[in-house]
Structure 1
Amino acid sequence: MRSPHWRLILNGKSTGNVDLREAVHALRERGVQLEVRVTWEDGDAERYVAEAIEHGVDTIIAAGGDGTLSEVAETLAHRPEPADALPSLGLVPLGTANDFATAAGIPVDPLEALDLIEQHPARPIDLLNIDADGKRWWCANVASGGFGTEVTVETDEGLKKVLGGLAYLVTGISRLGRIDPIRARLHTPDFDWEGGFIALGIGNGRQAGGGQVLCPDAVIDDGLLDVTVIPELTGEVASTIGALLKGGKQGALEQVAERTRAPWVEIHAEAPITLNLDGEPVQARQFRIECVASRVRMHVHPGSHLLGG
């Protein structure tokens, strides 16, 4: 029987992670052929994925945050082969927020995350495909807009290194007095909404921006987007946004949110708006976001809340 052949694509910011280094050695001692590639500049992940496929790798592991996961997933999604002909996808969460991993229940301990990949077979999951004024993007977790997006974009990298995910909360609190609603129209096959919103989540996963649970019921294998719009509010703004930033207080979210589930959603705005695609801010006046069912195969614990029944 052939030994497993894995390729780990590591975000260059995490090269000094001692726990990851020890975990890689532990898997090698078990007989897993595990090689590491480090991303340094744009295009590295695409090149490493192509190289892995050429070398007959069984599993490609994204080691980093939500952005690293989306970057590796996107390179697989670009391929002409069907999902079952491509290497499976694994994740070792090393980012500041790790929103996808948190919702999926993927351990932050590198050895435990690699154990999960070894122990549980990959299963098909969906990806988001985004057309932004004619340019194409892919997203594995959540496309978010409004207040949360501004918080994520504005949070200082140095602050994130010191405070971790708490940095998003600190930045968010500092912005509470200057929340401006964004005007747009949303359209799905069964849902139309127009007005000003302060937060928008279009989820394959459930949370973004360091713990904002915008799509509490989303799953990654149903072929549908979970869409949540939080309209502009009056005196409730501060308390509601505070609950969103801290996560978990879904009562506040449910009281004000407009929600639907759909295979695609179109967004139209008179002025350019910014959507955060797993850490990648994209600005456009028109977006069309589609759920591409079963586009990659990923190692997720079978009991994960992100898997449908």
Structure 2
Amino acid sequence: MRALLVVNPAATTTSARTRDVLIHALASEMKLEAVTTEYRGHARDLGRQAAESKDIELVVALGGDGTVNEVVNGLLHAGPDLDRLPGLAVVPGGSTNVFARALGLQNHPVEATGQLLDALREGRQRTVGLGLAAGTPGTEDEAVPSRWFTFSAGLGFDAGVVGRVEQQRERGKRSTHALYVRQVVRQFLGEPDRRHGTITLERPGEDPVTDLVVSIVSNTSPWSFLGNRPLYPTPQASFDTGLDVLGLKKLSTPAVARYGGQLLASTPERGPRGKNAVTLHDLTDFTLHSKVPLPLQMDGDHLGLRTSVTFTGVRRALRVIV
């Protein structure tokens, strides 16, 4: 088997020595070409080259969720094709690694590499569905390119938190869970529309859901982790179904305390609930519109401000070695 290993040298939980050990371990089982990313978007370019190659059978992403997202967008630049495209494997190297952990991989890169090698020897793989987001036709965002996401997207509050975290990282702060918690508090205090949301969710054949402040789109469950604690805003979300949405219509201090507590106590069977909470399961096509431009995030990457985004849940989009 010929494989391409895409290595993010800035991965927060791996050292150069650890990466060398992982590369040697993987090279012992396959014909491996390892490439270190050199710029933002490089992993996407490498994924696209692998998709267009005629002899690469597997792409291994060594890094965090951002690296995985770039590789996936490169692999699927021309759309899903399970028979033609290389498979994907992930060695987690980021601070949270939601996609890898949702697949059942260990959060330690060495242990995850051992799982990957066992899966290759035993021929274990699965297909996963993904989310696709694009600018809505007929709006000012229609020219925005489409983009795939593996586990989560959001328009509004959660994307604002992601943007604040990225600003702190650009200033030299480490990506820690404490940093995220601080930015959640700051986003809440600075949220101008937390009592009357500006987001409307529209889907074919159904009444619109209006006045949302929070709109979390999930492709799997858990949605994220706080340390080792999994968070389940949409417990039914799955790689085998369409997309799930949690919408909140109010972010007053009592509402934040209620829904924040429910999220921390959430389980695979029970997520946040209440009169201002809306949960939708297994959606194939829907659009989020906002009266004002709001931040958009996908897989923890801040993508700027948008007023309208159309989402599609695509089943069986990619082969993953697990």
Deviation by residue 1:38-73 (Cα, 9 ceiling, x = unmatched): 122244224322443526122101122212111111
Q: What's the CA shift for 1:90?
A: 1.0
Counterpart residue number, 1:305:
none
Would you say 1:214 and 2:224 are equivalent positions? no
Maintained 8 Å contact 1:185/1:192: no
Task: Please tell me the residue identity of whatever aligns with 2:33.
Answer: E
Would you say 1:258 and 2:278 are equivalent positions? yes
Counterpart residue number, 2:308:
286
Normalising by structure 2, what TM-score?
Answer: 0.80
Q: Map of 1:115-194 to 2, 5 A cutoff?
A: 115-120=114-119, 121-132=124-135, 133-134=141-142, 135=144, 136-155=146-165, 156-157=168-169, 162=174, 164-179=176-191, 180-181=193-194, 182-189=197-204, 191-194=206-209
Q: What's the CA shift for 1:188?
A: 1.8
What is the root-mean-square deviation of aligned Cα atoms in Å?
2.8
Q: Map of 1:104-115 to 2, 5 A cutoff?
A: 104-115=103-114
Q: What's the CA shift for 1:291?
A: 1.0
Deviation by residue 1:224-279 (Cα, 9 ceiling, x = unmatched): 11111111144423313543774647867123420112111111222222221112
Task: Please tell me the residue identity of whatever aligns with 1:142.
Answer: S
Would you say 1:297 and 2:312 are equivalent positions? no
Q: What's the CA shift for 1:99?
A: 2.2
Normalising by structure 1, what TM-score?
Answer: 0.83
Structure 1, unaligned stretches of length 5 or more? 301-309
Q: What secondary structure is seen at the aligned counterpart in 2 of 1:85?
A: coil
Maintained 8 Å contact 1:96/1:160: no
Task: Please tell me the residue identity of whatever aligns with 2:185.
Answer: I
Structure 2, unaligned stretches of length 5 or more? 136-140
Would you say 1:275 and 2:302 are equivalent positions? no
Task: Please tell me the residue identity of whatever aligns with 2:9.
Answer: G
Q: What secondary structure is seen at the aligned counterpart in 2 of 1:236?
A: helix
Identify if the C-alpha distance between structure 1 residues 61 and 239 changes in structure 2 by more than 3 Å, giving closer, same or farther: same
Counterpart residue number, 1:304:
none
Counterpart residue number, 1:303:
none
Aligned partners of 1:45 and 1:163: how far apart in 2? 20
Maintained 8 Å contact 2:215/2:246: yes
Q: What secondary structure is seen at the aligned counterpart in 1 of 2:273?
A: helix
Maintained 8 Å contact 1:84/1:297: no
Identify if the C-alpha distance between structure 1 residues 294 and 81 changes in structure 2 by more than 3 Å, giving closer, same or farther: closer
Aligned partners of 2:87 and 2:199: how far apart in 1? 37
Q: What secondary structure is seen at the aligned counterpart in 2 of 1:84?
A: coil
Task: Select the structure that is richer in helix.
Answer: 1
Task: Please tell me the residue identity of whatever aligns with 2:204.
Answer: P
Q: What's the CA shift for 1:162?
A: 4.2
Identify if the C-alpha distance between structure 1 residues 243 and 148 changes in structure 2 by more than 3 Å, giving closer, same or farther: farther
Counterpart residue number, 1:307:
none
Deviation by residue 1:99-137 (Cα, 9 ceiling, x = unmatched): 223333221222322233333322211121111222212
Q: What's the CA shift for 1:74?
A: 1.0
Maintained 8 Å contact 1:130/1:290: yes
Q: Percent identity?
A: 24
Counterpart residue number, 1:82:
81
Deviation by residue 1:165-193 (Cα, 9 ceiling, x = unmatched): 23211222344433333412101235434
- Which piece of structure 1 moves more, 97-106 or 286-295? 97-106
